[in-house]
Amino acid sequence: MSAKLQTPIDYLKGVGPNRAGLLRKELGIHTYQDLINLFPNRYIDRTQYYKIKGLQRNNADVQVIGKIIGFKEVAQKRGKRLVATFQDDTGTIELVWFRGQKWIRENLKLNKTYVAFGKTNWYGGKFSMAHPELEVQEAHEKNLRSAMQPVYPSTEKLSNSGITNRVISKIMQQLFIETNGKFVETLPENLRSELKLISKKSALFNVHFPKSQELLSRAQFRLKFEELFYIQLQLIIKNLVHKSKIKGFPFEQVGYYFNTFFKEHLPFDLTNAQKRVLKEIRSDLGSNAQMNRLLQGDVGSGKTIVALMSMLMALDNGFQACLMAPTEILSVQHYSGLNELCKQLNINIEILTGSTKTSKRKEIHKILENGELQILIGTHALLEDKVKFKNLGLAIIDEQHRFGVAQRSKLWRKNTSPPHVLVMTATPIPRTLAMSVYGDLDISIIDELPPGRKSIKTVHRYDKNRLNVFRFIRDEISKGRQIYIVYPLIQESENMDYKDLMDGYESIARDFPTPDYQISIVHGKMKPADKDYEMQRFIKGETQIMVATTVIEVGVNVPNASVMIIESAERFGLSQLHQLRGRVGRGAEQSYCILMTSYKLSNDSKTRLETMVKTNDGFEIAEVDLRLRGPGDLMGTQQSGVLNLKIADIIKDNDILQLARYHSKNILKLDPTLSNTDNKVILDTYRSLSKYKNIWNYIS
């Protein structure tokens, strides 16, 4: 990266302080380098001219050659609009301006030949073009015109301040003149010839001023590959550095706790996937490096037992373990499940949450610090400064996307050396995203369900089918089963006609009257103690129906519940629907998920519902979700700004991403320090990206 490219944008001819200020604020362009990386959104073919008579009613961008034969001002609700009649030898079209009229009247001449370019509108029997770009024909023919014209990202503020697409194109041309098109090559010759990539110089020129469709495609491919290559390189280096620098506690033995549990107390046979994952974890824990592993497993795939067995390895080596979950409900759930499993092993296990009483809290702090407490489970409460471990060897984080990076690093600092880390999620992350966002973690996947689990049947029903759905619920309850009914909102919001929770609760109470039926209700605004009381009634089978908001999305485990009804299902995201569905299907009986909606559905909603009905595979669902929502939304706010990519698109360019990861891995495998002469250019680029903060430091 040449030093010239680090020049502030203010110094580029044609920019100046005002424009520079706007470019900085609106598009984040501070330097020449930032400008060169402002890639076009799309391209317009400016080689073709249309006759007015031949225009189609399709809102396309077109160019017409003609003359302005008259102006008129038309009054409208606010102010006036200026309308010019533009004529060629086949007919007329109206050119319309809603602002900047004074400048236009002063600068445009009648009966002079112009090239008008813009989007056509058909209204009231005639064509019009709002705010067209107008150029005198002679000037138009003289200008540098490549066959394809780029359209750059813009904002309303930029357009209103006169920084049009044409202005950006002009300053881009100026940038190429000033830098003399000298761009440092960033990929080694051998890699370029193997992948038939064009040079950096040629790629940048052809992405901004493409001479043909073919050259444009080659330029985009080269730049996308380079961007993804350096992101993957950074992630893989990060992982290698982590393994070589951050020493973990070697858990050398698998002893009493693990073996006794495995041989005598395991409640069911492990699936092959669970065995494989345990092997991967065991090999990490036995090496000298700190484990940093992401465990993905669909809802109900048995991650908890893997977590427990990993904790038992820590205990066997004289260390403590902790498990942190995002909600109190989930923490309590983990605690009661693990407590039950650890009973016969005589393990000291405790839970710490926001509602733990002060006296109990003090006792936990004490026995944690003196080492008597072996396993601690809890919520964010584990992060408090007062919580000190004697020797924390393994930290497990459940549903990690709910925790910010800062919160997690707090947990690492509880020890002189960082503990081994296992991050668990039941939200399957599509491969593409996992490679880009968690590329520095090792990934394990539990991809099979425990034996005896029947796949959940999912159906979509409209509101008018409600009576049939209620009849079905009665049948299931008469077989001794329990039902979840989930609502998206607590209070009616004025502009939404969704049935809110209270409304729903009342209508269900009418259709399922006491004493024949008992109903629990749980939502986010209840006190933790009340919530827990209602949950416990449902878990013990004292109530048959649980009416709730999404607080039950993660971690409630009631094997006897066989039906999940999701009201206004169109309002939920795919991963949420999948999580909710995972609350049933935990026993041996056939389970059902019923998605209730109104008739008004957007195309995205239809796609989501069809996907849910079609598949139970969390990874397939996550891929669809990624296509619908894009990577930023999928990762949630804690990982926001996740992939601030300049040209590549993580979804559409999946193949290029795989290719980039393959090559960066290969190069580092053969030359981990990038010291070979062939790789000098990679090392230089990597260092300058880091130096200028252009390397994408967004990794968890």
3-state helix, strand and coil shares in percent for the chain, rounded to the nearest 5: 45, 20, 35
Q: Cβ(2)–Cβ(182) under 8 Å?
A: yes
pLDDT at 637: 33
Q: Is the pLDDT of residue 173 over 90?
A: yes
The pLDDT, as a whole number, for residue 695 is 39
pLDDT at 638 over 50: no
pLDDT at 696 over 60: no
pLDDT at residue number 640: 34
506-509 own/partner pairs: CB under 8 Å, 24+ apart: 508/545, 508/547
Q: Is the pLDDT of residue 311 over 90?
A: yes
CATH number assigned to the domain covering 48-144: 2.40.50.140
pLDDT in tens, 559-598: 899 999 999 999 888 888 988 898 888 877 899 999 999 9
Instruction: Please report, rounded to a whole number, the percentage of residues in the chain having pLDDT higher than 90.
Output: 47
CB 640 within 8 A of CB 632: yes
pLDDT at 368 over 50: yes
pLDDT at 374: 96
pLDDT band at 20 (very low <50, low <70, confident <90, very high): very high
- Residue 302 predicted with pLDDT over 80: yes
- Tell me: pLDDT of 541 over 60: yes
Burial class (CB in 10 A: 0-12, 13-18, 19+), 590: middle
Taking the C-alpha atoms of residue 247 and residue 693, their distance in angstroms, rounded to an integer, is 27
Task: Please give the CATH superfamily to which domain 457-615 belongs.
Answer: P-loop containing nucleotide triphosphate hydrolases (3.40.50.300)
Tell me the pLDDT tens digit for each residue of 473-517. 999 999 999 999 998 865 555 444 445 678 888 889 999 998 899
Q: Is a pLDDT exceeding 60 seen at residue 697?
A: no
pLDDT for 558: 84
- Nearest to 132, CA basis, from 143, 119, 148, 142: 119
Does residue 248 register a pLDDT over 70?
yes
Q: Give the residue, 525 or 182, on which the prediction is more confident.
A: 182
Report the C-alpha gap between 125 and 234 in whole angstroms. 58
Query: CA geometry: angle at 505 spanning 502 and 508, to 5°?
Result: 150
Task: Please provide the DSSP assignment of 399-410 as one string.
Answer: SGGGS-HHHHHH
When the candidates are 3.40.720.10, 3.40.1160.10, 1.10.3720.10, 3.40.50.300, the CATH number that belongs to 256-286+302-425 is 3.40.50.300
In sequence order, the 6+-apart residues with CB closer than 8 A to the CB of 657 are 228, 232, 432, 435, 436, 648, 650
Q: How many helices (H) and strands (E) does the chain have?
A: 24, 21
The Cα 546–Cα 564 span in angstroms is 10
DSSP at 645: -
Task: Pull the structure tokens for residue 69.
Answer: 């034969």
Task: Give 157's contacts (C-beta < 8 A, 6+ positions apart).
Answer: 22, 26
Burial annotation 191-213 (CB, 10 A radius, 16+ → b, else e): bbeeeebbebebbbbbbbbbeee
**Distance of alpha carbon 333 from the chain centroid:** 27
CA distance 564 to 576: 13
| Whether the predicted pLDDT of 425 surpasses 50 | yes
| DSSP state, residue 653 | T
**Exposure of 353 in the CB half-sphere (CA atoms within 13 A):** 19
Secondary structure (H, E, C), 543-604: CCEEEECHHHCCCCCCCCEEEEEECCHHHCCHHHHHHHHCCCCCCCCCCEEEEEECCCCCHH
Beta-strand pair 320-324/392-398 = parallel
Average of per-residue pLDDT values in the chain: 86
Q: Domain extents for the chain?
A: 48-144, 202-245+649-691, 256-286+302-425, 457-615
Indicate the pLDDT class of residue 639, thresholds 50, 70 and 90. Answer: very low
Instruction: Give me the amino acid identity at 68.
Output: I
Task: Choose among 508, 492, 512: nearest CA to 500.
Answer: 492
**What average pLDDT does this structure show over 664-678?**
93
Determine which of 181-195, 444-458, 490-504 has the lowest per-residue pLDDT on average: 490-504
User: Which residue type does 22 have?
Assistant: L
Nearest to 580 by CA among 538, 536, 612, 532: 612
218-232, 248-262, 648-662: lowest mean pLDDT where? Answer: 648-662
Would you call 539 helix, strand, or coil by DSSP? helix
Number of other CB atoms surrounding residue 423 within 10 Å: 22
CA distances from 73 to 121, 135, 188 (A): 19, 22, 61
Instruction: Quote the pTM value.
Output: 0.65
pLDDT of the residue at 234: 87
Count of CA atoms in the C-beta half-sphere (13 A) of 559 = 7
Task: Check: CB of residue 340 under 8 Å from CB of residue 349.
Answer: no
Residues 6+ apart with CB under 8 A from 359: none
Q: Which residue type occupies 450?
A: P
Per DSSP, the residues of 192-213 read HHHHTPPPHHHHHHHHHS-SSH
pLDDT at 12: 93
Of 530 and 460, which is predicted with more confidence? 460
Res. 146 pLDDT band, cuts 50 70 90: low
The pairing of strands 519-522 and 561-566 is: unpaired
Place of tokens 């033995």: 253
Identical fold between 256-286+302-425 and 457-615: yes
**pLDDT value for 556:** 66
DSSP string, 139-208: HHHHS---SEEEE----HHHHHTT--HHHHHHHHHHHHHHHTT-----S-HHHHHHHTPPPHHHHHHHHH
Q: Which pLDDT band holds residue 551 (cuts at 50, 70, 90)?
A: low
Which residue from 67, 137, 144 is spatially nearest to 109, judged by alpha carbons?
67
> What pLDDT, on a 0 to 100 scale, did the predictor assign at position 480?
93
